[in-house]
Chain A
């Protein structure tokens, strides 16, 4: 059997004394989209940073083609694995085009820093993210969503077989969220890339991921195909949230509908204005079940 492209072996991650991820074993399926989901602070970003060797594990290791990434040359890894961190920094005044061009750094040398491949990669990354018209604009004068797309373009320009993205759809309007997710899907389909992303929208995760990793308190609570692992019990365990899970009418994947207390409130208000309404709310029905 061949070694998995990317996996962790009993990896333990910590900031100073605080252990955030505990002896985690994870295999990233090659040529597929993996979504990491979980509550705020459960260690998703930390795990992603460790996969991209941005932080050194306290114990265990991250393996790329079976070799520990700690032992591989940094530039070689950079040609194969790209990451978009959750909140990246850029100097004021940096133009979009310059930012995207920097994604080419691992492929360049001092006297070969603008080859035809570099140019083509930057152009197609700009086009794919719809940022071609923004190319000359300074990053700090863009909207949050435009900026996010420019950063995604930078990561795409790196042209790596593995792409790690931390919440790539935050700040984006719904149209651009779907565009970015479709784009990542295309990369996997057409170019055999492997994508790992942290997503907060469980429904988008279910739709776009081939493989879901649900984390709780620095451990994997469940992992597998969305249809196999996502149900009301998982949502309760991982997010501490009551929800109904039905089939997504568009894709057939699990669709999570949080119960909340909103339906009760609506009913109460309606009762106040028009008298009692005999219908039980969805939430009450769930709680009775």
Chain B
């Protein structure tokens, strides 16, 4: 078939999926366009060309400040958050063998939220532990709890889902409880955080995200090869020489931390981790993680960035948080999926 191209030298031999590469290119260009647009629009409009020239070092002081200090870090946070959520969602869905799973549903985001909300409402946000750090810690703690509770001589996909739903329910109850204990001012602040927002994100949000992704992204893509084999079930994976439990634990850990850093940077932005892998599978025309993981990352980035842009432009001057826009985008997609499932069901 022509969509695959083989590259062989002395020490490497790779097979590249041209469709996946093409999609990554197209999504990359689209993201760049959205980024330019996002950085240009606002109370202080800047023409796209001026944005580009400012990014390459030109421009006056005021423009430079608006572009480099205010808007670029926000847009980059959106891109990086989307990458992390897209990959995390794809990994969770494959591990659970269930395309309806996402970190929101199995309690990872809820762990981050519970920790962050507790800190905002009951704690001291100016202390050593910042809200992002609390959120990351909460996600990891929820991931560990999920793994231990689901473990029964190994972690089966369906147990991951059932136990995860339980963990999520418990944590949401915890969040509600925290709200009843707080002052109205802190509760309001926590609420805004819970929706998922990119307001006032600066370089202090970008750098940790970028650093973590520099490690986690290659790791996730490398583990994608094991995920590919795990898709064939534990028996076949073991027969093909994979340490099944170890591989699953590594993948789970990577997905949990990816979720954790995304939520800690922008709050639990709804549905991105759920939808990005779906779109990726659809446009890739394959279910192989080697194609789906990178495309889900690129899709997630474009999704979060455009949702933030829409939230700022369509609801100017105050804008709405990005999490509300992603939820609005997700609703019709959900219905579309359901319709497709119904059609399939009807025709056998």
Q: Give chain A's interface residues, CB within 8 Å of chain B.
A: 49, 52-54, 74-79, 81-83, 85, 88-95, 97-99, 102-103, 105-106, 108, 110-116, 118-119, 135-136, 154, 158
Contact = CB atoms under 8 A, between A and B. Distances in A.
Interface string B224-249: 01001101110110111111000000
A74 B97 contact: no
Interface in B15-52: 15
A102 B228 contact: yes
Q: Which 5 A-B pairs have the closest CB atoms?
A: A78-B241, A114-B15, A89-B233, A75-B241, A106-B241
Nearest to B241: A78
Contacts of A136: 1
A112 B240 contact: no
Interface stretch (B123-131, B280-288, B314-322): B280-288
B97 A91 contact: yes
Contacts of A114: 6, 8, 13-15
B239 A54 contact: yes
A118 B15 CA distance: 11
Nearest to A78: B241
Nearest to A110: B222
Contacts of B281: 93
Nearest to B246: A74
Contacts of B236: 85, 88-89, 154
Given A110-B225, A112-B11, A78 B240 contact: yes
A110 B238 CA distance: 18
Nearest to B15: A114
B202 to A, nearest CB: 36
Contact of B242 (A81, A92, A97, A105): A105
A111 B14 contact: yes
A105 B238 contact: no
Contacts of B287: 91-94
A56 to B, nearest CB: 10
A136 B222 CA distance: 25
A47 to B, nearest CB: 14
B12 interface: yes
A49 B225 CA distance: 24
A72 to B, nearest CB: 11
Nearest to A86: B235
B270 to A, nearest CB: 25
Given A89-B233, A94-B231, A77 B241 contact: yes
Contacts of B231: 90-91, 94
29 contacts: A49-B235, A52-B238, A54-B238, A77-B241, A79-B241, A81-B239, A83-B239, A85-B233, A85-B235, A85-B236, A85-B239, A88-B232, A88-B233, A89-B232, A90-B232, A93-B286, A95-B286, A105-B225, A105-B228, A105-B241, A105-B242, A110-B222, A111-B11, A111-B12, A111-B13, A112-B12, A113-B13, A114-B6, A116-B13
A74 B232 contact: no
Interface centre among A94, A114, A136 (most CB of B within 10 A): A114
Contacts of A78: 239-241
Nearest to A155: B239
Contact of B6 (A82, A89, A94, A119): A119
Interface centre among B8, B235, B239, B240 (most CB of A within 10 A): B239
A227 B43 CA distance: 91
A40 B140 CA distance: 46
Nearest to A74: B241
